[in-house]
Chains A and B, each alone.
Chain A
C-alpha cells in the first residue's frame, strides 16, 4: 500500500520558536494513526502543515500533492475536523449541507441526512442553537458523508461529555472507516482512542518520540508489577519507567526478556497512557 502522507524533514518555526523540528513521518493507507503529545508539542502545527493551513520547511507530500500550494484540490481527497465547534454559528444546517454539496464533488446529501436523522439535529436548526455535542454530531455527519481518502481529526471531542465521545468514535469506526481510508487523530486524551488505533506516534517538543504499530507496542513493551522487596532487583534490569501503585512497584521495559522478568512478578501489556507518560517523562533518551 502506498503512503497517504509522507513527510521528510518537516519543520515549522514561529519566529525563534521551533514547533515542529525536522520530523519524518509516513502514514500508510488504511490505517488509523494516533498522533499523541502533550499540549504545545507541535501536533497541531504538524497537522496544519499537512492540511495546507500554514507554511513549513522540508518536504511534505499528501496524496501526491504539496499541501502548501494545492489546498483546494487536496481538500477534494482530504477532510478534517479541526477542533470542535468551528462550524459557522450563523449558518443553518440545511445551508451547510447545500453549500458542501455544491462545493465538494464527493459529498452525498442522502448519507448526511441519514446520519443526522439518528440525532436530534434538524435541518432548520441554526448552529448557534445547538449544544456543543450536537455541533460535533453535525460536523461528523457532514464529514462522514464525504468520500475521501484521508480524514484528519484534531482534538475532535474536546469538551464533549463521555456519551458523545463514545458515540463519536463508534460512528467513525462502524460507519466510516474501511481499508481504503486513513484516519489521523491527534488528541491528548489517550485512553479514549487507544482501542481504535492501528498506529501510534508520540510527539514531544517538536520531535517524534515513538512511531510504531499497536502490535509493535504489545511486542516491544512489557509492564512488570513487583512487590517492594524485589523492586531493587527489577530496577537493575534497566526499566524505561517506574511508578508506584498501592505499594507495588510497576516497571516498564522496552524489549525486555519476558522469561527473565516473569521471575519477579506479574507481566502486563502496558496501556498507551502509561507508555505515553513513560515516554514523555524522559524515557528513551
Chain B
C-alpha cells in the first residue's frame, strides 16, 4: 500500500505540469475572461444599458426557479473546457506512461528498486482514472467559487442582494456531484481506451501517438470499405463502434441523438427521458451493461499485454 502511494506520488511529481498546472491555468483563464466580461460591460455603460440596469432587470423580471436552473446548468456547462483538456491530458499521459522512461533509459533506475511491474502499472492506471480527474474537479470547483464570489461582489456593489439573485437559489452540490460522478463513471467507461493507450505505450519503439492512432484508423477504413463492397451497407465497424462508445459515454460534454437531433443539450439532464442525459440512473445503466462488460474484457486483454511487455522491458 505504501509502495503504491509512493508510485502514485512519483507520477504526480513527474507530471505536475499536466496534472496541476494545466487545470490552474484553465481556471485562471475562466476568471480572467469573466472579469474582462464585467469590465467590457461596464465600459459601455454610457452608451447602452448599464450593468446595473441589467442586474436590476434580472432581479425584478425573472423567475427565481429559472435563475436557479440557469445556475445549476451553468455549473455543469462551465466544466466543458476543463473536461476537454482533462481528456487530452489523460490521453497523452497514458500514451507516455510506459514509453518515456524507456526512451530516456530511466527505466533502468526504476527497475533497480523493489516495486513490482504490476504495482507500477496500477499506479499509472489509477492516476489516470482518479488522480487527474479529481485534481481537475477540485480546481474547477475552486474556479466556480472565485467566479461566483466576484459576481456576488459586483452585484452587491451595484446595490442588489446576490443571495436572493442567484447565490442562495440553487443547490451547487447537485450539478457538481453529478459532474464528479460523471468523471468517475467515465474512468470506468473509458477503460478499454486506457488499456489500449497503455499497451501502445509499452509496445511502441517510437512515436506512440502514431501507433495509437494509425492502426485503428487503417483498420476502420479497410473495414468500412470491405463492408461497403460486400453488402453495400454500413452497419458495424470499428469506426461505428468507437463513435457509439463515445456517444454513450457518461460525459457531460458528450453529445448523442435525441429525437433525431444530434448533440441535444450536450448530455445535460434537462429531462430524464433524454437517453444520453447524464443522470446517475443513466450512468449506472451504462456501467452495468453488456457493452461495459465487453469493454472490461478488452481492457483486461490490453492491460495484461502491457504488463507482459513491461515485465520484459529494459532500455533496449
Contacts and interface: CB of A to CB of B under 8 A. Distances in A.
Interface of A: 48, 51, 53-55, 71-76, 79-83, 85-92, 95, 98-100, 102-105, 139
Interface of B: 2-3, 5-7, 9-10, 13-14, 101, 104-117, 119, 312, 314-315
A76 B116 CA distance: 11
Contacts of B106: 86-89
Given A91-B13, A99-B10, A86 B115 contact: no
A86 B109 contact: yes
Given A76-B114, A102-B3, A54 B314 contact: yes
Given A54-B314, A55-B312, A83-B108, A73 B10 contact: no
Contacts of B6: 98-99, 102-103
Contacts of B116: 71-72
A103 B104 contact: no
A271 B10 CA distance: 46
A80 B112 contact: yes
B105 A83 contact: yes
A99 B9 contact: yes
Contacts of B104: 88-89
Chain B contact residues, majority secondary structure: helix
A104 B113 contact: yes
Nearest to B2: A102
B108 A75 contact: no
A71 B106 CA distance: 17
Given A53-B111, A82-B112, A95-B10, 19 more contacts: A72-B114, A72-B115, A72-B116, A75-B111, A76-B114, A82-B315, A86-B109, A86-B315, A87-B109, A88-B101, A88-B106, A88-B109, A89-B104, A92-B13, A99-B6, A100-B113, A102-B2, A102-B5, A102-B9
A92 B105 CA distance: 17
A88 B10 CA distance: 11
Contact of B314 (A48, A75, A76): A48
Nearest to A73: B114
Contacts of A105: 114
Nearest to A81: B112
A49 B284 CA distance: 47
A80 B6 CA distance: 20
Contacts of B111: 51, 53, 71, 75
B114 A104 contact: yes
A46 to B, nearest CB: 13
Contacts of B7: 103
18 contacts: A54-B314, A72-B114, A72-B115, A75-B111, A75-B113, A75-B114, A82-B108, A87-B106, A87-B109, A88-B106, A88-B110, A89-B104, A98-B9, A99-B6, A102-B3, A103-B3, A103-B6, A139-B109
